[in-house]
């Protein structure tokens, strides 16, 4: 996990390539072979002539992994979220969404014109209060959260939210962008959530997005999700790369758990609380302090980007670390030593 910048080589702790698969030889070769066979681009939307055969293989693989009936591959994780939400709900319906949900989910909610109530982050009691007060007066209801939150690395209380949704006749949509392939759960997401969206640009090292769920849902989205209908299909090379990456990851479960293990190693070295995922934020609050730490770690040979408003709320600036199977133990230990010199919790 090295990058070159300004003639220097840095160890990259900001990439979302959590399994290091973007440069895996098998993934690269699969991508190149698909480009040679099918061409560089899909050339049209999937509903016109851009639906090359690899799509069906990837959708079957995604549905099997999530344990859903079907899956639909779209152009990006943003397009998956921005297209799914308004295809399912409208102005007579209700959305209950976690306060820290991704901007793409908020974009989809805005397009739906549904009534929106923001619940406190990961607060099941607040979600229950909202549903008790608002659910009866609306048509359909969608509760939206994420499996792993991108800026804090914490996990949503999915089992509790799923139970709440069953009680109030609501759908649960979970964005699995940062959990896919690196966040083992007690049960596959398809057993917990009604709808699972995600991206192929993070742990699978490629590009694209997906929606997994009941076959009826996928059939509906095929003609109702405007971000699918009016977008050119993914290039064959990206689809083939994602397929190969999933095969590599699922072929060795210890490989999938390594990013979380390295995050735990880092947190132990700094006497921090055990991480919930492979993402660890170093909270500084002030933007200038976050930038100062980023610059200092850059001097030490690490890329660790400061995250500031509007990506995170004012007063919560942090340096966000993302650990990868591509990192060595020595990489993590060296980062921990550098952070210990420059930062105090």
Q: Which residues are catalytic?
A: 16, 102, 146, 150, 175, 178, 202
DSSP annotation string for 102-151? -HHHHHHHHHHT-EEEEEPTT-HHHHHHHHHHHGGGSSSEEEEEESB-TT
Of 260, 278, 262, nearest in space to 334 by CA: 262
Instruction: Provide the CB-side half-sphere exposure for 339 (13 A, CA).
Output: 29
Q: CA gyration radius for the chain?
A: 20
72: phi > 0 → left, psi -120 to 50 → alpha, else beta; which?
beta
- C-alpha distances in Å from residue 2, one per residue of 5, 241, 327, 335: 10, 21, 9, 13
Beta bridge partners of residue 116, listed in sequence order: 95
Alpha-carbon gap, residue 221 to 198, rounded angstroms = 15
């Amino acid at each position: 996990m090295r990058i070159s910048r300004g003639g220097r080589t840095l160890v990259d702790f900001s990439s979302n390539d959590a399994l290091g698969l973007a440069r895996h030889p098998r993934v690269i070769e699969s991508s190149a072979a698909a480009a040679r066979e099918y061409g560089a681009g899909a050339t049209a939307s999937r509903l016109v002539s851009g639906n090359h055969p690899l799509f069906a293989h990837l959708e079957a693989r995604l549905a099997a992994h999530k344990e859903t009936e079907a899956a639909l591959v779209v152009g990006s994780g943003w397009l998956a979220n921005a297209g799914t939400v308004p295809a399912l709900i409208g102005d007579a319906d209700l959305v209950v969404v976690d306060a820290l949900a991704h901007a793409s989910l908020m974009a989809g909610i805005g397009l739906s014109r549904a009534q929106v109530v923001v619940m406190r982050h990961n607060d099941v009691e607040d979600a229950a209060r909202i549903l008790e007060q608002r659910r009866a007066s609306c048509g359909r209801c969608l509760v939206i959260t994420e499996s792993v939150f991108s800026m804090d690395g914490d996990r949503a209380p999915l089992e509790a939210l799923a139970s709440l949704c069953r009680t109030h006749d609501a759908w649960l949509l979970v964005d699995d962008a940062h959990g896919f392939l690196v966040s083992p759960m007690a049960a596959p997401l398809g057993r917990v959530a009604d709808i699972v969206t995600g991206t192929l640009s993070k742990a699978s090292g490629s590009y694209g997005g997906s929606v997994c769920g009941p076959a009826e849902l996928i059939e509906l989205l095929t003609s109702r999700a405007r971000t699918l209908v009016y977008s050119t299909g993914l290039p064959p090379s990206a689809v083939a790369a994602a397929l190969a990456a999933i095969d590599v990851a699922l072929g060795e479960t210890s490989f999938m758990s390594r990013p979380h293990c390295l995050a735990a190693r880092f947190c132990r070295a700094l006497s921090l609380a055990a991480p919930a995922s492979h993402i660890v934020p170093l909270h500084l609050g002030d933007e200038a302090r976050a930038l100062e730490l980023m610059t200092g770690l850059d001097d030490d040979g690490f890329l660790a980007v400061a995250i500031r408003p509007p990506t995170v709320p004012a007063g919560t600036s942090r340096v966000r670390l993302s650990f990868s199977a591509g990192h060595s133990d020595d990489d993590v230990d060296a980062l921990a030593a550098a952070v210990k010199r420059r930062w105090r919790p």
